[in-house]
Amino acid sequence: MQDSFQDRPPKMSEHLPKDHPPVPKQKVGVLLLNLGTPDATDFWSVRRYLKEFLSDPRVIETNKFIWWPILNLIILNFRPQKAGHAYAQIWDKERNESPLRVITRAQTEALAARMSGDGVMVEYAMRYGNPSTKSVLEKMQAAGCQKILLVPLYPQYSATTTATANDKAFDALKEMRWQPAVRTAPAYFEDPKYIEALANSIRDGVAKLDFEPDVVITSYHGMPVEYLKKGDPYHCQCYKTTRLVREYLGWPREKLMVTFQSRFGPTEWLQPYTDKTLEALPGKGIKKVAILAPAFSADCIETLEEISMGGKDTFMEAGGENYAYIPCLNDSPGGMDMIEAMVRRELSGWL
C-alpha cells in the first residue's frame, strides 16, 4: 500500500510556489583538502602562490610588522625564480599541472568511484592556489550538499597544515547565507589502516630495489622548534607514526629512522635535519639508503624535487652508493583503502 502524505516527511519542493527556482536534491559531500600549488612555473604564478602561503599567520608566526617587509621586499623578489625552477623539474608537462594537483584529483576521482553507490559528492580544494576552498564549498552547497565532511590530507596534525586547511573552509562558511552542516576529519597518524598502508608501501618499495638499504629514513616536513614549545603535537605524532610502522614491520629500531626536511629561515627547526643526516651517513659506513615522506599524502615538490632529486645528490656527493625514494601513498589501492575507510567512519550517521 502506498504511503500517505502523513506517513512520510514532505519534500522541501512540495511547499514551494510554482515559479520558485529549482531546489537541488539534498546530498552529503566530502571535500579533500591539500596544501596547494602554483598554477604554472613562471615567476608571477609562483610569486602569487608564495605570497598567499607565506602570508598565513599560522605558517609564519613572526610579528606581521617585521615579517611584511621581509616577505614583500626580499623573499618575493628572489624566491619565486628559484622555486619556479624547482617546480619545472617535476612539472607534469602533459597536463601542465603540478604533481600535487594531478594526484589529489586522482584521489578524488578514485574515492568518488568507490562511494558512487552512496550518492556522495566528492571534491577537492587547495588551501593556497586553485581550486580554492571557497569556490569548491560554494559549488558543493549549490549542488545540494547540506552536510559536508572536510578531510585535510595531512596524517599528522599541525597548526601550519591541518588547522590552516580548516581555517580557510571556516572563512568561506562565515560568508554563506545558507551554511551546510560541517564535520572535520581528525589527523590519522596512528590509524591502523594508515599504518598498514604505509608499512606495506615501505615493504613493497624495498622489495623492488636492486639493493638492500642499510637504513630506511622517514623524512617529515620540518617545523620551527618554537611551534613545538607552544604546544603543536606534530613532532610527537611523527615519531609515533614511525614507531608504529616499525613495529608493524617487525624491524629493529636502527633500521627505520626519523628526520625533518624543508627548513626555512634562520630559526631552529625540528631535528635531526634530513639534509645534514644524508651528508653524515656515508661517513658512518651507511652507504645504502631508502627514504620516504610520510607527512605527505601525495607526491609534490617537497618529495619529488627536494627528497628524490636533491636528497640523492646530497647523499651520493657525500660518498653514498645507493639511494632510492619510496613514493607517497598517492592514489594507490592501499592508500585509497585507507582514505575510504576513514571517510566512511567519519560519515557515520550521515549515510
Give binding residues as ranges: 221, 302
Q: Which amino acid is at 234?
A: Y
The answer to whether 202 and 332 are in contact (CB under 8 A) is no
SS (H, E, C) the chain: CCCCHHHCCCCHHHHCCCCCCCCCCCEEEEEEEEEEECCCCCHHHHHHHHHHHHCCCCCCCCCHHHHHHHHHHHHHHHHHHHHHHHHHHHCECCCCECHHHHHHHHHHHHHHHHCHHHCEEEEEEEEEECCEHHHHHHHHHHCCEEEEEEEECCCCCCCCCHHHHHHHHHHHHHCCCCCCEEEECCCCCCCHHHHHHHHHHHHHHHHCCCCCCCEEEEEEECCEHHHHHCCCCHHHHHHHHHHHHHHHHCCCHHHEEEEEECCCCCCCECCCEHHHHHHHHHHHCCCEEEEECCCCCCCCHHHHHHHHHHHHHHHHHCCCCEEEECCCCCCCHHHHHHHHHHHHHHCCCCC
SS (H, E, C) 21-50: CCCCCCEEEEEEEEEEECCCCCHHHHHHHH
Binding-site residue positions for Fe(2+): 221, 302
